[in-house]
Amino acid sequence: MKSPLILFILIYLTFPVISFDPSIGHSGSAKNLLGENPTQDMLDRFSNDKHVTSLTPPTFLVHAKNDPVKIENSYLFIQALEQNKIPYSTTIYEQGGHGFGMINPTSEVRRMDEVEKWLPSLF
């Protein structure tokens, strides 16, 4: 007898631009992705926090508090995950900025170690 195929889907977000709300969104990303003058409908349609549902996969987020992509993006997504009872975990760094790669040189915390610790809780 063959073993059944198990497909596991997980979202892993690093330094994410979640929202295009002008108060927290990253203006460069908004301009590059949505153009010079996006409509409110476009801003809402492409703001991921507005589309979390009970079908959203478990999510792991990585962000540094001093990232030019405001950490409020991650906080907003976390709030949407909580409202929909979606399992999640985070690695939030005090320092590191944006795009520091797999290892944040300002911290001893290794994000993939944190993912490895979190994954068993999903099963």
pLDDT of 8: 73
> How crowded is residue 43: how many other Cβ atoms within 10 Å of its Cβ?
17
pLDDT of 1: 63
What is the set of domains in the chain, with CATH numbers?
A: 11-112 (3.40.50.1820)
pLDDT of 26: 87
- Beginning with the edge strand found earlier in the chain, give each strand of the sheet holding 59-64 in spatial order: 11-14, 59-64, 88-93
pLDDT of 52: 97
CA 98 to centroid of chain Cα atoms: 13
The residue written with tokens 């001893």 in the block is 108
Cα(74)–Cα(54) distance, rounded to whole angstroms?
Answer: 18
SS3 64: strand
CA 46 to centroid of chain Cα atoms: 14
pLDDT of 92: 97
- Per-position pLDDT tens, the chain of length 123: 676 666 678 999 999 999 999 899 888 999 999 999 999 999 999 999 999 999 999 999 999 999 999 999 999 999 999 999 999 999 999 999 999 999 999 999 999 999 999 999 998
pLDDT of 73: 97
Indicate whether this model's pTM tops 0.85. Answer: yes
Q: What is the token pair recorded at 31?
A: 């301009």
